[in-house]
């Protein structure tokens, strides 16, 4: 079975440019999460969706970040304009929000973003 698929795997861009990261969750999973990983801050939850609806976006750093989930099989995380401090690995994860699977996240391989 295909796991969580993220693209691009690597992105190098210049400050001020728009960045769009994409995620395809596992079929049948109804929750999707975007995490950011840095050396300084570890793993941070940015936003999560349940049944395509954003439930908690309190981790989104600022207005430059936005996330959408237009359907059950696709989500995007957009940064506009990007800044060097946005450099990180961005992970998408999905799961079935039902006991006892809650918390049993399936992660993609991540998108490594470098903003110059």
Partner 1 sequence: AQSVTQLGSHVSVSEGALVLLRCNYSSSVPPYLFWYVQYPNQGLQLLLKYTTGATLVKGINGFEAEFKKSETSFHLTKPSAHMSDAAEYFCAVSGTGGTSYGKLTFGQGTILTVHP
> Between 50 and 66, whose beta carbon lies closer to partner 1?
50
Which residues sit opposite 66 in a β-bridge? 78
Distance of closest approach, residue 81 Cβ to partner 1, in angstroms: 27
CB neighbours of 40 closer than 8 A, spacing ≥ 6? none
Specify burial of residue 12 (Cβ count, 10 A radius: 0-12, 13-18, 19+).
Answer: exposed
> Between 28 and 103, whose beta carbon lies closer to partner 1?
103
Distance of closest approach, residue 18 Cβ to partner 1, in angstroms: 24
Task: Give me the residues that bind partner 1 (CB under 8 A), please.
Answer: 4, 31, 33, 42-43, 45, 48, 50, 55-56, 91, 93, 95, 97, 99-100, 102-110
What are the percentages of helix, strand and coil residues in the chain, rounded to 5?
5, 55, 45
Distance of closest approach, residue 16 Cβ to partner 1, in angstroms: 28
């Amino acid at each position: 079975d295909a796991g969580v698929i993220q693209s691009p795997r690597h992105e190098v861009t210049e400050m001020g440019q728009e960045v769009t990261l994409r995620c395809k969750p596992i079929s049948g999973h109804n929750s999707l999460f975007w995490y950011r990983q840095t050396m300084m801050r570890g793993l941070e939850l940015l936003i999560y969706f349940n049944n395509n609806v954003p439930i908690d976006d309190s981790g989104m750093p600022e207005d430059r970040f936005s996330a959408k989930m237009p359907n059950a099989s696709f989500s995007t995380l957009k940064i506009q304009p990007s800044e060097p401090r946005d450099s990180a690995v961005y992970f998408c994860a999905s799961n079935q929000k039902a006991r006892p699977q809650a918390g049993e996240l399936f992660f993609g391989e991540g998108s490594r973003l470098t903003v110059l």
